[in-house]
């Protein structure tokens, strides 16, 4: 039996940093990774000599065989814990609690997690498309010519067919994300959208339209993690890790046991158990919105809605700022930015800013507890983290 | 191989018999000698019981569309002439699911639950890829 309660409140995020996002041609993917790292260190009131743990993820635009080691060299730090995480979008929060374990077990004292990529200007559209769709099984999927939107469309179609969720309800996810991005000065896409705009956008892979799909971006974000006892020494309110959990189903969508729910459920249950909390205790959520229907399945898997009910929940406005469960308050991957594997890092830095009370116009009133969720592959690998102002 | 050619499966020793079957117009599943489980894709161990005792069984080639999409923007130049094309998950009568295109029909007539049957698309000398078409 895992002693999963041991992590609750033991480590805190003491620094966060986001680079410019969208089109950032003046920085390489490496440059973005270092820029994010420097911003997070500055935010934490620390210097690179205070860091003895480093976690990164590889870049598609500028890959390094040993990415974290290359970034350590670039920064000239000499960590006792150094790892490049590589399980797609879901890795972000998985490395968060793995880094927490490294701190708790005395492997290192402070971990810098920095992830960035240049999918927008560092690759051609065709390179980005082929590289991302290489997640398909090389023998049993790739020969059929599906794109990443195509793989997710298989899920979207099954979900709509099973529950009667409408295109309008899916579109409401994109509209909500855009309304929140409009309040974020750094977001890539800030012009408000209507449901009609989404439905009028070009069909990419039925039933997914262009505006059901997330952005392609340059950008990076970083956090600094420290022992809870030392977290109060910094300039900001520490944000504590209360719970985390992973869930892994299939890797390839053709092997999925279920097309309308995912192992987000197991990830969420594990995170709730560690935190000693449930969905009713969560003030706001930052969910992985690579495509609009993914958010709906996550809302159901994570216990916020019954099966097939998330479409109506979002369309009724419950996930807007001021609603019962504000969601993707920075605009998410749909409107803030999506630089690939680092995408969910921005959900993490946003959750920290909300919990510090620094989110300005888009601040969730009295935000005490947040749930962030990321997934990688095609609804394959999941990690949920629960964060709070208090321990 | 030209950059404009559709991808060929990178066949390995574990999957060679499956692809040999395709080249002969037979869709092969693996059957566990210990528990009888039928599986796709071909792999080293029985996914149900972990047995190494796996043999090959020919599928009847009939199944139904479990879900599908119509690709409007091709993944690469090789697929551009096919746009719009259907990518589907097909559940075989024997149980296993596999990815395929649905060919030989207007994409607009494809539906979840539709009965389909296997056919083989020759993509290179002695390499054929299983494809599905609507049941006549
Ligand atoms: Zn068996």
Topology of the domain covering A11-124+217-231: Peroxisomal Thiolase; Chain A, domain 1 (3.40.47)
Q: Residues A200-227: pLDDT tens digits?
A: 999 999 999 999 999 999 999 999 999 9
Report the alpha-carbon distance of residue A291 to residue A277 in Å, rounded: 28
Mean pLDDT of A279-305: 98
Of B8, B68, B73, the CB nearest to A154: B68
Say whether pLDDT at A345 is over 90: yes
Report the alpha-carbon distance of residue B72 to residue B74 in Å, rounded: 6
Q: Residues A72-121: pLDDT tens digits?
A: 999 999 999 999 987 677 777 889 999 999 999 999 999 999 999 999 99
Smallest CA–CA separation between B70 and chain A, in Å? 5
- Average pLDDT of chain A? 95
Report the alpha-carbon distance of residue A224 to residue B23 in Å, rounded: 55
Q: Residues B14-53: pLDDT tens digits?
A: 999 999 999 999 999 999 999 999 999 999 999 999 999 9
Mean pLDDT of A223-246: 95
Q: Residues A41-80: pLDDT tens digits?
A: 999 999 999 999 999 999 999 999 999 999 999 999 999 9
Write out the residue range of the structural domain in which residue B37 sits. Answer: 16-134
Q: How far is CA A25 from the centre of its chain?
A: 23
- Residue A270 Cα distances to A290, A301, A384, angstroms: 23, 12, 8
* pLDDT for position A1: 40
Q: Residues B45-64: pLDDT tens digits?
A: 999 999 999 999 999 999 99
- List residues of chain B with CB under 8 Å from any CB of chain A: 6-12, 15, 40-41, 66-76, 78-79, 82, 85, 87-89, 97-101, 112, 123, 129
Residue ranges of the domains in chain A?
Answer: 11-124+217-231, 145-213+242-388
Does B86 map to a domain? yes
Smallest CA–CA separation between A308 and chain B, in Å? 17
Does B54 map to a domain? yes
Does B36 map to a domain? yes
Q: How far is the CA of B42 from the centre of ligand 1 (A)?
A: 13
Pairwise CB contact (< 8 Å): B69 & A140: no
Mean pLDDT of B73-99: 96
Smallest CA–CA separation between A274 and chain B, in Å? 31
- Residue A144 Cα distances to A147, B3, B21, B79, angstroms: 9, 16, 18, 9
Does B6 map to a domain? no
Domain count, chain B: 1
Q: Which residue has the tokens 């149980």?
A: B95
Neighbouring C-alpha atoms within 13 Å toward the C-beta of B85: 24
> pLDDT band for position A125 (50/70/90)?
confident
- Of residues A1 and A355, the one with the higher pLDDT is A355
CB contacts of A213 in chain B (<8 Å) are none
- Average pLDDT of chain B? 96
- Of residues A357 and B136, the one with the higher pLDDT is A357
Smallest CA–CA separation between B34 and chain A, in Å? 22
Does B1 map to a domain? no
Q: Are A261 and A307 in contact (CB under 8 A)?
A: yes
Which of B76, B86, B87 would you mutate first to test chain A, the one with the most A CBs within 10 A?
B87
Mean pLDDT of A174-193: 97
Of B10, B67, B123, the CB nearest to A139: B10
Does B111 map to a domain? yes
Does B30 map to a domain? yes
Residue A50: both structure tokens together: 């205070």
Report the alpha-carbon distance of residue A191 to residue A179 in Å, rounded: 8
Does B8 map to a domain? no
Q: Could you say which DSSP state residue B10 is in?
A: -
Domains A11-124+217-231 and A145-213+242-388 share a fold: yes
Specify the CATH number of the domain A145-213+242-388. 3.40.47.10
Of B68, B78, B98, the CB nearest to A157: B68
* pLDDT for position B1: 45
* pLDDT for position A87: 60
Count of residues for chain B? 136
H/E element, A243: strand A239-248
> pLDDT band for position A128 (50/70/90)?
confident
Say whether pLDDT at A299 is over 70: yes
- A281 CB burial (10 A radius; 0-12, 13-18, 19+): middle
């Amino acid at each position: 039996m895992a002693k999963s309660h041991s992590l609750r409140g033991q480590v805190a995020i003491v620094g966060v940093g986001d680079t410019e996002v969208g089109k950032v041609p003046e920085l390489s993917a490496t440059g973005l990774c270092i820029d994010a790292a420097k911003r997070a260190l500055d935010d934490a009131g620390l210097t690179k000599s205070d860091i003895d743990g480093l976690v990164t993820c590889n870049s598609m635009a500028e890959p390094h065989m040993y990415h974290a080691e290359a970034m350590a060299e670039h920064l000239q730090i000499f960590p006792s814990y150094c790892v490049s995480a590589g399980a797609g979008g879901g890795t972000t929060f998985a490395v968060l609690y793995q880094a927490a374990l490294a701190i708790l077990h005395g492997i290192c004292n402070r971990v810098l997690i920095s992830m960035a990529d240049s999918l927008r200007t560092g690759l051609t559209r065709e390179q980005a498309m082929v590289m991302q769709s290489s997640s398909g099984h090389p023998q049993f999927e790739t020969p059929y010519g599906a794109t990443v939107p195509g793989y997710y469309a298989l899920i979207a179609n099954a979900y709509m067919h099973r529950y009667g969720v409408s295109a309008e309800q899916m579109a409401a996810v994109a509209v909500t994300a855009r309304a929140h991005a409009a309040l974020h000065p750094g977001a890539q896409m800030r012009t408000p959208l209507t449901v009609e705009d989404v439905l009028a956008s070009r069909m990419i892979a039925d039933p997914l339209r262009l505006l059901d799909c997330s952005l392609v971006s340059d950008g990076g974000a970083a956090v600094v993690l420290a022992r809870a006892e030392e977290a109060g020494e910094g300039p900001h309110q520490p944000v504590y890790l209360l719970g985390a959990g992973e869930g892994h189903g299939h890797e390839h969508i053709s092997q999925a046991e279920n097309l309308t729910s995912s192992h987000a459920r197991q990830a969420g249950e594990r995170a709730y158990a560690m935190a000693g909390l449930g969905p009713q205790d969560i003030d706001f959520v930052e969910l992985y919105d690579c495509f609009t229907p993914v958010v709906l399945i996550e809302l159901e898997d994570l216990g916020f809605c019954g099966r097939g009910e998330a479409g109506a929940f979002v369309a009724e406005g419950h996930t807007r700022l001021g609603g019962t469960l504000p969601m993707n308050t920075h605009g998410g991957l749909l409107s803030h930015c999506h630089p690939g594997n680092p995408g969910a890092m921005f959900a993490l830095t946003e959750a920290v800013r909300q919990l510090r009370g620094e989110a300005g116009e888009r601040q969730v009133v009295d935000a005490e507890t947040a749930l962030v969720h990321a997934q990688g592959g095609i609804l394959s690998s999941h990690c949920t983290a629960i964060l709070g102002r208090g321990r | 191989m030209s950059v404009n050619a559709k991808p060929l499966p990178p066949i390995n020793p574990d999957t060679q018999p499956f692809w040999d079957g395709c080249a002969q117009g037979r869709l092969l599943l693996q059957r566990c000698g210990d528990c009888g489980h039928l599986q796709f894709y071909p792999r080293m161990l029985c996914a149900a019981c972990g047995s190494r005792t796996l043999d090959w069984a020919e599928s009847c080639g009939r199944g139904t569309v479990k879900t599908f999409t119509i690709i409007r923007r091709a993944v690469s130049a090789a697929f551009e002439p096919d746009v719009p094309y259907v990518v589907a998950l097909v559940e075989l009568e024997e149980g296993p699911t596999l990815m395929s295109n649905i060919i030989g029909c207007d994409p607009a007539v494809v539906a979840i639950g539709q009965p389909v049957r296997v056919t083989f698309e020759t993509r290179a000398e002695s390499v054929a890829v299983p494809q599905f078409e609507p049941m006549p």
